[in-house]
Structure formats: structure tokens, C-alpha cells
């Protein structure tokens, strides 16, 4: 099967308090600015294995919740994992995590999934730490800072550019 004339970047996100959604939107802005690639932004509850198969590159955006990826993001991976296994090897991906502390557990979890799918990381995981440590702060709506949003935009732009240029 030949790849499409215009490659697709699939951005799948989950957001509980708004932080990861802001990050996903920033990455989408950057990807659209790059041009040359179609960009699909889907909430994890709406993303399907067919969406994964139709894309040539991926950006996963998740909150870290209780030391893991968010539940709806985990559900997306659970629903998609075996349906696309051995069908997306070597495709590029990157990861954005919105965390209250260090975010490393969510990173490890997604890296294990990506290893099983044999995806190729094209950027280091980007963790945006909100430092939310109390129940009230954890549940409060998040506002991601301009510098972090700029970094998310740049990542989206880089992945879309790489797809458009055939680098990945």
C-alpha cells in the first residue's frame, strides 16, 4: 500500500483539568503552521484503531494521573493496541505529558506501548509540570504557561514538517 500524498499527523489527547488540552491545541497550531501534512486532533475517547492506521505519525498528549497516563488515554491504547499491532512499525511519535509532579511514570507507560508497536520516538518526551500537589490544586483548572505552550507548538511543527519532508 502506498502512503498518501499528504501524510497525516494524528494528535490524540486526554485532558481532565484543561492543561493537556491546551498543550494538544498548541501542538496542533504548530503542526498546521508547518503545512504539508494533514493534522487530526482527537480526544482519546473518540480515537479509533482506524485513525491510528490512517496516520503516518503520532503525538500522544496525556495528563499523568495517579502515576499513570489518564484513564481515557489508557482506554484508547487498550482499544487500539492489538488492532494495529505489527501494522504501524517504524512510524514516528512524540509524547506530551501534563503532570503535577514529575510525569515519569506516564512517560514510561507510553514508551512501553510504543516499544510494543515498534514506533520510533522522534523527540524526547516533553513534561509540563503544574506542581499541583494538594487535592484542591490537582482538581483545579490548569493554565499552561506561554513558554511551555510555545514548546508544544514547536514540537507539533517539527513532527508535521518531518512528515511532510519525508524525514520520518
Rounded CA-CA distance 110/125 in Å is: 10
Domain span at residue 159? 8-165
d(CA 10, CA 26): 14
Q: What is the DSSP string of 5-36?
A: SS-EEEEEE--SSSHHHHHHHHHHHHHHHH-S
Q: Give tens-digit pLDDT for 33-52.
A: 999 999 999 999 999 999 99
Q: CATH number, domain at 135?
A: 3.40.50.360
Look at residue 60 and tell me if it is in a domain: yes
3 lies in a domain? no
Q: Residue 1: which pLDDT band, with cuts at 50, 70 and 90?
A: low
Q: How many domains does the chain have?
A: 1
Q: Locate 7 and state its grid cell.
A: 501524510
88: in domain: yes
* pTM for this predicted structure: 0.96
Residue 14 lies in a domain: yes
Rounded Cα distance between 32 and 150, Å, is: 14
Q: How confident is the model at residue 5 (pLDDT cuts 50, 70, 90)?
A: confident
> Residue 1: inside a domain, yes or no?
no
Amino acid at each position: 500500500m502506498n502512503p498518501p500524498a499528504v501524510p497525516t499527523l494524528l494528535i490524540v489527547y486526554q485532558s481532565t483539568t484543561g492543561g493537556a488540552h491546551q498543550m494538544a491545541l498548541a501542538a496542533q497550531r504548530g503542526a498546521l503552521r508547518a503545512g504539508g501534512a494533514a493534522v487530526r486532533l482527537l480526544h482519546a475517547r473518540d480515537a479509533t484503531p482506524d485513525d491510528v492506521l490512517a496516520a503516518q505519525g503520532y503525538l500522544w498528549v496525556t495528563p499523568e494521573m495517579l502515576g499513570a497516563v489518564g484513564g481515557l488515554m489508557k482506554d484508547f491504547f487498550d482499544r487500539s493496541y492489538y488492532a494495529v499491532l505489527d501494522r504501524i512499525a517504524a512510524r514516528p511519535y512524540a509524547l506530551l505529558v501534563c503532570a503535577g509532579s514529575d510525569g515519569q511514570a506516564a512517560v514510561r507507560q507510553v514508551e512501553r506501548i510504543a516499544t510494543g508497536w515498534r514506533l520510533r520516538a522522534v523527540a524526547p518526551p516533553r513534561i509540563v509540570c503544574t506542581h499541583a500537589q494538594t487535592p484542591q490544586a490537582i482538581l483545579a483548572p490548569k493554565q499552561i504557561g506561554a513558554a511551555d505552550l510555545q514548546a508544544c507548538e514547536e514540537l507539533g511543527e517539527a513532527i508535521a514538517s518531518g512528515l511532510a519532508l519525508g524525514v520520518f
